[in-house]
Amino acid sequence: MPGKRITDHQVHKYKQHRIKLSQVASAAKAGISERSARRIEDAQSLPSQRPERNWRTREDPLSAVLDSEVIPLLQTDARLNAVTLLEELQRRYPGQWDTSVLRTLQRRMRLWRAKFGAEREVYFAQEHPPGRQGISDFTVADELKVEIAGVAFTHRLYQVAPAYSGWRHVTVIDSG
């Protein structure tokens, strides 16, 4: 399964099934791909025992201009979008930037805005001061099929729970 790391438990489960089943069937039962199963067969250690990967798969294409060009433009106007900034980079450096770096630029801008951008406006601040609010609910209780003297008792339950109190009260409503 792409993007999910294989756990030690899955490896143990795979090896346990592999004693009796084929590689394909064992992989399916462990929840991993056939390719991962082949890799497990060759591996000498569990996933938790392997060193973590700490290298980049490719050079950052924006590293040369991120601090010197992109961030100053964002500081000037944080509302700029990635397409506009990419067009500006293409204007300043003709032939150096193609549209393949757009997604990378969008990610860098999102990270910058999260760290240094303007605070987002809170539209509906939810405040629940103790003693002022509570939750109240009516429940139709006909499904309980309560009978009194052999006659069906149609009723509702009213429940109230004040905020922060941990207290709850239920009342039977037999009319209305």
Could you read off the pLDDT of 40-81 as tens digits, one per residue? 998 888 988 988 888 888 888 998 999 999 999 999 998 899
Alpha-carbon distance values, 55 to 47, 52, 64, 90, 108 (Å): 18, 9, 19, 29, 18
What tokens were used for 38?
A: 């082949």
**Region 6-18: what's the mean pLDDT?**
94
The answer to whether residues 80 and 112 belong to one domain is yes
Indicate yes or no: pTM above 0.95: no
Within a domain: residue 25? yes
Is the pLDDT score of 125 beyond 80?
A: no
CA end-to-end span of the chain, whole Å? 56
Q: Please, which pLDDT band fits residue 120 given cuts at 50, 70 and 90?
A: confident
Same domain flag for 107 and 70: yes
**56 occurs within a structural domain:** no
Residue range of the domain that includes 18:
8-49
Flag whether 1 is in a domain: no
Confidence of residue 134 (pLDDT cuts 50, 70, 90): confident
Residue 54 resides in a domain: no
